[in-house]
Structure 1
Amino acid sequence: MAETVGMTLEEAKTVEVEQAWVPDNLDSPDAKDFLDAVEVARRVRMQTWGSDDLAYTPLEKMLEFSDPYERQIILVAKVDGKIVGTIDIALPLADNIDLAEFTLDVLPEYQRRGVGRHLLEAAEQLARAEGRTMVLVDTNHPATSLTEIPEDQLIPGTGPGFVPVSSREVDFAQRAGYTLQHIEQFSSCVLPLDSKLVADLQAEAEEANAGRYALHHWTDRCPERLLEGVAELENAAGEVVHGEDEADEPAGADTGMVFDAAVLRETEDAAMAQGRRTVVTAVEHVATGKLVGLTTISVLAHRQDVVFQDDTLVLQEHRGNKLGLLIKVANMERLSEQFPDARVIYTWNAPENRYLLTVNKQLGFTTAGVTGLWQKELPRRSAGATTSD
């Protein structure tokens, strides 16, 4: 989110919000608005992080619209016919169907002119019309913006961490009625890992587990013989607090999804349909033959130099054996073997997840900043209400 509330009447009249058309291909004459919207998001990420590593390419963004588990809509704000801001609206379809997730971007030179306020109000109205009652939106803060001054630290309702009170984004979110719920620590690691570091960490992990565990690897599709075990692992992990879990979702989010072999195959098919690759390492407890841990890395279809750490989980009763370290080192090594162009891996963690933050530090991850997760409850639509409410 990048904007502040506050505009003059004259400024308000210059902002027009409309839904962006998603083209069938990027060469079509009607693709211009879509391409301009993607460029707005790229420029905002350049402003925030100093690079466009976290920005979608136009092809990657277009593929997002084929996700069967999530409906996506882009609203754009135009000033004098030029797209100067966007808000992506994600509406989950399989679970959390009361939820809408927004990503708001406004070009730096058009901030503080009411563009963000127009976009956010339009997105909230659309979410209400879709029957959504809860909105999540994030704010992003590079490490250089985080201070040790207590008066400049806004602490969330749950968990540790903070966002800077002096941030323009924080001011905007608060004035728009959003409440800070949680903090995610954002980190990056240069690839490939140093070979001596890998050897040392593998030796440390193997000494701790003393041959009681065995690793399994796959890319994209889980072997049939392990499918039920992965489903059981995912469901068991969902029943407890993930002391060894990292994900690019809000920590503690309860998806309500129950995994079985069919659901896992559907998620694999959906990822592959979008051109994404998934590198997986699982760990088996040899004595029982059960899978007790898992870690995954996602590789985008059209940009394989930047990759993302997804879930890492280890069942409660098998913690203390450095299995998180074991599977993460192994998976990052496999990633570099299969995708040698990968130069950096990004991950988000809850600040209270001290175990994985320690593992990540051992691997060479450094903190790039934090993401604040904000929430707002929308009033329910009354009977007979129309989309023009």
Structure 2
Amino acid sequence: MVEDVRIEQLWIPDSLDGPDSADFLAAVEVGRKVRMQTWGSDDLAYTPFEKLLELADPYERQVILVAKVQGQIVGTVDIALPLADNLDLAEFTLDILPEFQRQGVGRQLLEAAEQFARAEGRSMILIDTNHPGVSLSSSVDDQLVPGSGLGFVPMGSREVEFARKTGYTLQHIEQFSSCLLPLDTKLVAELSDEAEQANAGRYRLHHWTDRCPDVWLEGVAALENQAGEDTEPSARTEEQMVFDGAMIRKAEDATIAQGRRTVVTAVEHIATGMLVGLTTISVLSQRQDVVFQDDTVVMQEHRGNKLGLLIKVANMVRLTEQFPDARVIYTWNAPENRYLLKVNQQLGFNTAGVTGIWQKDLPDLGPSSS
């Protein structure tokens, strides 16, 4: 056990150049080292500038607590508090330097974060644990299955042991996959043909980057609401944000302010003139070699026409045209979403690991007594 651990709130500097940015830079570096330990690369780590931009998200307040030992930052917990919906929720990302793990630092940080969240009126906490593919055992005895009954995390994992000991319950699993870019041109042609034959000329593709054309704004809002409805009950929080065109514009503004780019392909049902499917890829401001697949959604009544395959192939081709430095795309999928997992497999995605989502309900303190 490490003695004399000091927990404090991280000061967020205005820029990375000033003398007051040293702690912030050190905290971001902790996150990078933890991701190197977990995944063997820093593809999923924030750059300091990226993290600074993310902290300005108007839909989410973020507070970072740090653990210091002899003045050195050895652990961090990022506390995300949604501001538009799920106002009882707090999401934690806990990172402890490898050499300070299993020494009580994480528990102290987590307890401090829970106290902070409770003081902010948050009663439900979500944390995640990350597990590379090589750590996933085929032995049932080594598998912890979530409440949803689908997927598993490795029972013997340090992170799993920690989450259970601190009172968290595994709710659901997300499969984490990666695909090298650019896609093979022969594969693109084959998959495009397969999708086109299935939809028999009844649909038309539309593309844009960053901002949706006015004509499709309400259609995009409807698709985002469909995506919320498609979320498995085990992965849902109580409140789901209901989108309209104005909210889409605000979300675009926030994304652009963070320096991020968004590559979008949508599909129109020609007979009705309605948008019935959408897929998006996010490109970070500082690292255009690593990109992220976001929502892919198809309206329920138009499923079965391989529209998911059609729009994902087209969007990955457009991504390479606009951002030729992109070398890998990452995505997370619920294991119950078998159609998208199959599409990803056709595109060349490989399972990189799993993320476990854990929940803890904080006790209701009731009204304060005077």
Which of 75, 80, 90 lines up with 1:85 in the alignment? 75
Counterpart amino acid of residue 201 in structure 2: G
Give the equivalent residue in structure 1 for 2:182.
192
Residues 116 and 50 of structure 1, relative CA distance in 2, 3 Å threshold = same
Q: Residues 182-331 of structure 1: matches in 2 within 5 Å?
A: 182-240=172-230, 251-253=235-237, 255-331=239-315
Q: Deviations over 1:227-258 (max 9, x none)?
A: 1121222224433557xxxxxxx944565211
Percent identical among aligned pairs is 74
Aligned mates of 1:343, 1:159 — CA distance in 2: 34
Matching of residue 369 in structure 1 with residue 356 in structure 2 = no
Aligned mates of 1:131, 1:253 — CA distance in 2: 16
Q: Residues 119-158 of structure 1: matches in 2 within 5 Å?
A: 119-158=109-148
Number of matched residues?
370
Q: Which runs of 5+ in 1 are unaligned?
A: 1-10, 243-249
Counterpart amino acid of residue 285 in structure 2: A
Q: 1:159: Cα distance to partner?
A: 3.7
Residues 265 and 89 of structure 1, relative CA distance in 2, 3 Å threshold = same
Q: Deviations over 1:271-299 (max 9, x none)?
A: 00000100001111111111111000000
Q: 1:23: Cα distance to partner?
A: 0.3
CA RMSD of aligned residues (A): 1.5
Give the equivalent residue in structure 1 for 2:168.
178
Aligned mates of 1:240, 1:65 — CA distance in 2: 28
Q: Deviations over 1:42-67 (max 9, x none)?
A: 00000000000000000000001110
Give the equivalent residue in structure 2 for 1:359.
343
Aligned mates of 1:374, 1:13 — CA distance in 2: 28
Asked if structure 2 preserves the Cα contact closer than 8 Å seen for 1:184 and 1:251, the reply is no
Aligned mates of 1:373, 1:58 — CA distance in 2: 26
Asked if structure 2 preserves the Cα contact closer than 8 Å seen for 1:188 and 1:346, the reply is yes
Asked if structure 2 preserves the Cα contact closer than 8 Å seen for 1:131 and 1:380, the reply is no
Q: Compute the TM-score of the two structures, normalised by the length of structure 2.
A: 0.97
SS of structure 1 residue aligned to 2:3: helix
Give the equivalent residue in structure 2 for 1:16.
6
Asked if structure 1 preserves the Cα contact closer than 8 Å seen for 2:178 and 2:328, the reply is yes
Q: Which runs of 5+ in 2 are unaligned?
A: none
Matching of residue 338 in structure 1 with residue 310 in structure 2 = no
Asked if structure 2 preserves the Cα contact closer than 8 Å seen for 1:295 and 1:312, the reply is yes
Q: Residues 51-66 of structure 1: matches in 2 within 5 Å?
A: 51-66=41-56
SS of structure 2 residue aligned to 1:94: coil
Residues 236 and 165 of structure 1, relative CA distance in 2, 3 Å threshold = closer
Asked if structure 1 preserves the Cα contact closer than 8 Å seen for 2:171 and 2:235, the reply is no
Which of 13, 17, 25 lines up with 1:27 in the alignment? 17
Aligned mates of 1:251, 1:134 — CA distance in 2: 13
Aligned mates of 1:316, 1:82 — CA distance in 2: 52
